[in-house]
Amino acid sequence: MEPFKVHILGCGSAMPTAKHYPSSQVVELRDKVFMIDCGEGAQMQLRASRIRFTKVSALFISHLHGDHCFGIMGLISTFGMLGRTAPFHVYAPADFEPVLNSLMQMFCAGLGYDVVFHPVDTTQKAIVYEDRSLTVETIPLNHRVPCCGYLFREKQGNSHIRRDMIDFYGIPLSQLNNIRAGATWVTADGEEIANDRLTLPADPARSYAYCSDTCYMPQLHTMLSGVDLLYHESTYDASSVERARIYYHSTAAQAAQVARDAQVKRLVLGHFSARYDDESLLLDEAKTIFPDTILAHEGLIINV
């Protein structure tokens, strides 16, 4: 099975702390590397995670609050100093494009590569990126500014070859791709060999949903149904539910309700308020509703 990993670079909220960096993650899928959000210190965390800067092909920004995007210009500048030549794609709310262009003119003139901006409509559920192995889809969220999450969904792969059967029927190597794609085989004697005798089922397609800053949305689970891994903000515990409502954030219990209703396989809590020295309170709260819950922390690598 090809690698599908989520690297937590930062999982704190807006107030800086000595414990957590602001929001940033890396999604690694089939040798492709994508970044989600880019708070301050993201490139320092890239170094600490030993993720090669040159492999990051795109950045997906959830919304335009500083703790999710203040690290962008430093990252773009560093790419230039490293001699990058491949385009760097930025997916973000449309309002960010003139700001990004202005900042690049001031701080990043003469880059040796192109920064390609892709405006995102945060109010619509839509595929914004697609290649042969995956799609990235927006998840409309409800925050104080336009905001969306992102759903990384692996495409279904081909079946696995049964080497013993290939050898038994003397099928040439040139035909293996056709067999993987579902073709049957006809022997020299005219016998037709069904594909399911020559192959084993493909690995199940995997999915990861990143739900950035949002108030509790009772209908959100319908867009997350059955995902393998869900990251959901959990800024507060249940005793601060009114504060969460005022600032359009979620409690750990509310994140767990979304995970339970969506029937996801695993939940990761993040975006912790600076008020918590020990987030185990949030973990315990969530696990009473959705037991398969873990806390994010810097340096955590999660296999999807």
- For the stretch 235-262, pLDDT in tens is 999 999 999 999 999 999 999 999 999 9
**pLDDT tens, residue by residue, 122-177:** 999 999 999 999 999 999 999 999 999 999 999 988 889 999 999 999 999 999 99
- Tokens standing for 221? 């689970």
pLDDT at 23: 98
Please answer whether residues 243 and 237 qualify as being in contact, where contact means their C-beta atoms are separated by less than 8 angstroms. Answer: no
**Same domain as 74, residue 8:** yes
User: Which residue out of 31, 37, 67, 277 is catalytically annotated?
Assistant: 67
**Same domain as 179, residue 59:** no
pLDDT at 206: 97
E-assigned strand segments in 97-190? 115-120, 127-130, 134-140, 148-154, 160-161, 185-186
Annotation marks residue 67 as catalytic = yes
Overall pTM surpassing 0.85 (yes/no): yes
pLDDT at 102: 96
**Same domain as 145, residue 24:** yes
Distance (Å, whole) CA 175 – CA 193: 13
Q: What is the dihedral of CA 236, 240, 241, 244, to 10 degrees?
A: -60
pLDDT at 152: 98
**Same domain as 247, residue 148:** yes
Number of domains in the chain: 2
- Tokens standing for 40? 């301050």
| Mean pLDDT along residues 62-89 | 97
**Same domain as 123, residue 109:** yes
pLDDT at 66: 97
Cα torsion angle, 221, 222, 223, 229, sign? positive
- Tokens standing for 205? 């397609």
| Mean per-residue pLDDT of the chain | 96
| Mean pLDDT along residues 58-76 | 97
Range of the domain at 196: 160-200
Residue 181 has pLDDT above 90, yes or no: no
